[in-house]
């Protein structure tokens, strides 16, 4: 509890994440089971407002004299991932709701192996790189808005520096995603070629 009192921005980040899922769920329930398509569309289109709220809260916290730290960096990274992955999460949930409540087609799962899987992994890694880039841009914006390098040093150096962390995330994602698909072979296809 003391952590939240010392870092109210962390609570704002958590509330924004909850707000995203509440808006998403409410929008899909309105759209499909309740058949209120316009209401559902408005609620789904409101999900980016959560990102704007977080950005404004972060800037206000810093403008009031707060020193940038781990939580401000987390907010910037959250914004990056929310912007990069939010639309695809909404499309994914929309397809499943349409299937469940509107007799839509069952969403197709990405194959476990093969070229389609590789394309999927490259696409997801591209979103990761985009998210990291947006996070770094937001960090730069925060530094510019604060106008005092002394108050934003923690974002760029030391144990709380975000660029190296984001680089590690992108590298791990690349290794476990696109790169992995180069070595991951379909067991049945391998067995078929050996047995045939």
Give the number of other CB atoms < 10 A from CB of residue 73. Answer: 25
Ranges of residues in the chain with a pLDDT under 70 are: 159-160, 185-196
Where do the domains of the chain lie? 2-186
Q: Tell me the whole-structure pTM to 2 decimals.
A: 0.84
d(CA 192, CA 12) in angstroms, rounded, equals 54
* pLDDT, position 185: 66
Q: Which two tokens stand for residue 111?
A: 């194959």
How many residues appear in the chain?
Answer: 196
* pLDDT, position 80: 95
d(CA 37, CA 39) in angstroms, rounded, equals 6
Q: CB of 104 within 8 A of CB of 98?
A: yes
Which residues does 51 contact at the CB level (< 8 Å), separation at least 6? 16, 79, 82, 83, 86
CA neighbor of 33 nearest in space, from 106, 99, 108: 99
CA neighbor of 129 nearest in space, from 73, 178, 174: 174
Q: CB of 131 within 8 A of CB of 85?
A: yes
What sign does the CA torsion over 142, 147, 153, 157 have? positive
* pLDDT, position 115: 93
CA neighbor of 78 nearest in space, from 156, 170, 155, 10: 10
Q: CB of 127 within 8 A of CB of 85?
A: yes
Q: Which two tokens stand for residue 18?
A: 């909850």
* pLDDT, position 195: 45
């Amino acid at each position: 509890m003391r952590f939240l009192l010392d870092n109210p921005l962390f609570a704002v980040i958590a509330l924004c994440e909850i707000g995203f899922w509440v808006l998403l769920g409410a929008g899909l329930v309105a759209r499909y089971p309740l058949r209120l398509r316009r209401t559902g569309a408005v609620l789904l289109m409101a999900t980016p407002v959560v990102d704007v709220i977080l950005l404004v809260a972060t800037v206000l916290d810093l403008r009031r004299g707060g020193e940038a730290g781990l939580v401000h960096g987390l907010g910037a990274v959250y914004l990056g991932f929310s912007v990069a992955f939010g639309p695809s999460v909404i499309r994914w949930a929309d397809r499943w709701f349409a299937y469940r409540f509107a007799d839509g087609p069952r969403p197709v799962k990405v194959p476990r192996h093969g070229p389609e899987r590789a394309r999927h992994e490259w696409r997801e890694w591209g979103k990761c790189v985009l998210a990291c880039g947006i996070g770094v841009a937001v960090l730069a914006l925060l530094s510019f808005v604060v106008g005092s390098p002394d108050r934003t040093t923690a974002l760029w150096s030391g144990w709380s520096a975000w660029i190296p962390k984001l680089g590690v995330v992108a590298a791990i994602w690349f290794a476990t995603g696109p790169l992995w698909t180069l070595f991951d072979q379909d067991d049945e296809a391998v067995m078929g070629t050996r047995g045939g």
